A and B are shown apart, each in its own frame.
Chain A
Amino acid sequence: MNIDDSTIQIGFTDVNKFYGAYHALNSINLSIPKGQFVALVGPSGCGKSTLLRTLAGLEEISSGTINVGGRTVNDIPPRKRDLAMVFQSYALYPHMNVRENLTYALRLKGVSKEIRANKADEVAAIIGLEDLLDRKPRELSGGQRQRVAMGRAIVREPQAFLFDEPLSNLDASLRVRMRKEIRALHERIGSTSVYVTHDQVEAMTMADHVVVMRAGKIEQQGVPLDLYKNPANCFVAGFIGSPAMNFIPGVIDESGESVTLDFEESPSLPIAQSMQPGRPVVVGLRPEHVELGDAQSCGYAAISISSVEETGSTTYLFSSATPELVIVADGSQQVRSGDVIGVKIAPTNVHLFDPETEVSLSNG
C-alpha cells in the first residue's frame, strides 16, 4: 500500500500474541488509513477477535507496537484509547434503558444531562430508535439491540469503530439489510472501521480493504476484487468466493502454454503464461468461470456430469471425475446427470498454485 504516513489511523507493527505456548497472533503488520473500512476475515479461531481486542486494549500483546492516531497505545488502557466497539453479544447494560445505554460514555465524561438527552435523541434518529429510548435492553428484539450497540458507538465519535461479528446473531434477511446500513453509516460519519467477520461475503461486500487471516497470520490483504482475482495462495483462493474454488492437480504440457488436468478425460486448458513443461501444479478454477458448450466443439474439454442441483436462478453441476469439479451455470441450462458436456475456461481465469507451498504461480 502506498499511503502517506499522516493518514494512517491504525497501525500494527510486528505484533505477536501468545496464550501460553499458543501463538495466537503471528507477526501482524497492518496499516489502516483514516476513513477506511477494513474487514478482518478468516475461519473461526484464526485470531480475528484477538487482533481486534489487542487493538481495543482488552488483550495485551506479547511484542510489537500498535498505533492509533499517531500514538503508540501498547501501554494505554482501553478507556483512554478512544475506540468504540460493537460486541457480538452487543454487551448492552441490562440495568439501563436505551437512552442511558447510548449516553453512558458521555455520563462518565461528566457531560450534563440536557446535552446527553439531546445527543441520545440525535443518535436515536440516525439509527431509528426514537420510540425505544425508554425501554430496557431485555424489551428489545435482536435487531433493535444491535442498533443500540451501534448507537452507543456512534455517540462517542471515536477515532475508530471496532466491530466483532456484529451481525452473526441476526437472521439472514436482517443481516443483509444491516450490512448496507452499517456501510452507509460508515460513509456518512466518515469514520475508520475495523470489522471482524467469518463471512467472506460480508467482508467482500462491505469493506474497502479485506484482510484474510489463518492461524494467527495475515495470509493476504487488499481490495476485495483483487483478492478474488489474484489470490496469493490456495487458502485465500478457496476462502474468497462462493461456492469455493475447485482445486485439481495438473501438469504443465510440453508447450508450456497449457495444463493437463489429472482427470480421467485428461482435459487440457490453455494458460495465460508460459511455464516450465512437466511442472506439477494445482489448478484453481472458480465454479462461475467454467463456460459450458458442446463437448465436440473446438476448444472445449469433455466432462461427464454426475449430479445437478437447480435453484431456479442458478444451476450447480457436479462432475463425476475425482476430484469433483463444481460448475455454476445459469438456470436456463438444460443439463441432466449422466450428460457429457464441454467446458472451457478463459486462460486468465486459470489459477496455478505450487503443490508444495500452495503459493500462487500466476503472475497476475
Chain B
Amino acid sequence: MKACAKWIRDGIGFDALLIAMALTYLLAFAGLPLLYNIIISFQVVDMFSLNQLFHEFAGWDNYIEVFHDPAAAEVLWNTTLFTIVSVFFQFTLGFALALFFNQKFPGATWFRGLFLAGWVMPGLVVGVLWNWLLSGDFGVINWTLETLGIIGEPIFWRSDVDYSLISVILANIWYGVPFNMILLSVGLAGIPEDLYEAAALDGATALQKFTTITLPMMRSTIGAVIALGIIFTLQQFDLFAAITSGGPAGSSLVAQYWSWELSFRQFEFGRGAVIAVLMIVVVLGVTVFYVRSTRQETRL
C-alpha cells in the first residue's frame, strides 16, 4: 500500500493515473456508444425490441434501405450544400473580421469580444432569433430587402422549399463566424510583427504580404479552423430543429436531422444508426486532416 502511494506521488504513477482516468472516460462515454451505434446499424431494432441488449442481425439491409430511400439523394445534396456553403462563408467572413480587428485601432479588442456574444448563445436561442428575423410577414430581413427594392413581395423563408435550406445556412453562418474569427485572430496574433516589417522593406505590397507571409504562416490554423468548421456544421442540429424541422417536404433535410428523425420519430433505430455511422466516417476523415494540419507547424 505504501509502495503504491509512493508510486503515485513520486513515480510515473500520477501520469498513469491521469491517463487512465481520461481513457476510462473516453471509453465509457464515447467509445462504447460509438461501438454500440455501429452494432445497431447492422441489426433490426424497433420500438418493440428496443429494450433488449441484443437484436436480430440484419446484415447490410439497413444500409441498403437508407441508400434506396427516396429522400437519400436530396439529403446528401442538402448536407453537402449546407456544409460547404456554411463553412465557406463562416471562414471567409471570420477571416475578414479577424484581419480587420488585427489592425490596431482603439477598441479593437473590446469590439472583437462583443462578437463572441453570438457564439456563446445556445443554438436553439439563435434559431428562435433567426425565426424572427426571417419571418415572412414582419421579419427585418424582408423589410430591408423590400425597402431597398431588391424584392417586390415578401419571401416566406422558412416555408418556401426554395429558401428553407438557405434560411438555416444564413443562421448557421452567423452562428459560426465568431468562432472562426477568434481562432483566426489567435493565429494572426502569432505572426511576429517584424516579419511584416522585413517584408515591407523587401518591397512587399499589402497584398503580397498577405499572400506570401500571412497565408503560409496561417496554414495550420486555417486547416484546423476549416476542419473544426466542417465537424461543427455536420453536428448542427438545433438550428434545423428551431427554424425548419427539415421541411417543408424535406427541402432542408440534412443527414444529422434525418438520422434523428429516423431514430426518434419513425423509430427506425437501425437506419438512424446507419446515417450516424456514415457521418462518423466523414468526420474521421476530416479529423485526420485536422490532426495533420495542426502537426505541421511553420513557426520558428
Within 8 A of A (CB), among B260-300: 298-300
Q: Is A94 an interface residue (CB 8 A)?
A: yes
B33 to chain A, nearest CB (A): 41
Q: Is A58 an interface residue (CB 8 A)?
A: yes
* Chain A: CB-nearest residue to B191: A94
Contacts known (A93-B213, A95-B216); A56 close to B192, Cβ less than 8 A = no
Q: Contact check, A87 vs B205: say whether CB atoms are below 8 A apart.
A: no
Q: Contact check, A78 vs B201: say whether CB atoms are below 8 A apart.
A: yes
* Chain B: CB-nearest residue to A78: B200
A110 to chain B, nearest CB (A): 10
**Chain B neighbourhood of A93, CB < 8 A:** 195, 198-199, 212-213
Q: Contact check, B212 vs A104: say whether CB atoms are below 8 A apart.
A: yes
Q: Contact check, B299 vs A94: say whether CB atoms are below 8 A apart.
A: yes
Q: Is B162 an interface residue (CB 8 A)?
A: no
Contacts known (A94-B217, A108-B208, A138-B300); A79 close to B203, Cβ less than 8 A = yes
Q: Contact check, A78 vs B197: say whether CB atoms are below 8 A apart.
A: yes
Q: Is B202 an interface residue (CB 8 A)?
A: yes
Contacts known (A58-B197, A87-B197); A92 close to B300, Cβ less than 8 A = yes
A155 to chain B, nearest CB (A): 9
Q: Contact check, A79 vs B216: say whether CB atoms are below 8 A apart.
A: no
Q: Contact check, A94 vs B203: say whether CB atoms are below 8 A apart.
A: no
Q: Contact check, B203 vs A89: say whether CB atoms are below 8 A apart.
A: no
Q: Is A83 an interface residue (CB 8 A)?
A: yes
* Chain B: CB-nearest residue to A77: B200
Q: Is B69 an interface residue (CB 8 A)?
A: no
**Chain B neighbourhood of A81, CB < 8 A:** 201
**Chain A neighbourhood of B217, CB < 8 A:** 94-95
Q: Is the interface of A mostly helix, strand, loop or mixed?
A: mixed
Q: Contact check, B298 vs A105: say whether CB atoms are below 8 A apart.
A: no
Contacts known (A95-B298, A137-B300, A138-B300); A56 close to B201, Cβ less than 8 A = yes
Contacts known (A89-B192, A91-B192, A93-B195); A79 close to B201, Cβ less than 8 A = yes
* Chain A: CB-nearest residue to B300: A94
Q: Is A196 an interface residue (CB 8 A)?
A: no
**A100-127 interface code vs B (CB 8 A; 1 in, 0 out):** 0000110111000000000000000000
B209 to chain A, nearest CB (A): 9
Q: Contact check, A105 vs B216: say whether CB atoms are below 8 A apart.
A: no
Q: Is B204 an interface residue (CB 8 A)?
A: yes
* Chain B: CB-nearest residue to A137: B300
Q: Contact check, B203 vs A105: say whether CB atoms are below 8 A apart.
A: yes
Within 8 A of A (CB), among B173-218: 192, 194-195, 197-205, 208, 212-213, 216-217
**Chain B neighbourhood of A108, CB < 8 A:** 202-204, 208, 212
**Chain B neighbourhood of A150, CB < 8 A:** none
Q: Contact check, A87 vs B198: say whether CB atoms are below 8 A apart.
A: yes
**B155-180 interface code vs A (CB 8 A; 1 in, 0 out):** 00000000000000000000000000
Q: Is A10 an interface residue (CB 8 A)?
A: no
Q: What 3 A-B pairs have minimum CB-CB distances, sorted nearest first?
A: A105-B202, A91-B194, A91-B198
Q: Which residues of A approach B to under 8 Å, CB–CB?
A: 56-58, 77-81, 83-85, 87, 89, 91-95, 104-105, 107-109, 137-138, 152, 156
9 A-B pairs within 8 Å (CB atoms) are namely A58-B197, A79-B202, A81-B201, A83-B201, A91-B195, A93-B199, A94-B298, A105-B202, A108-B212
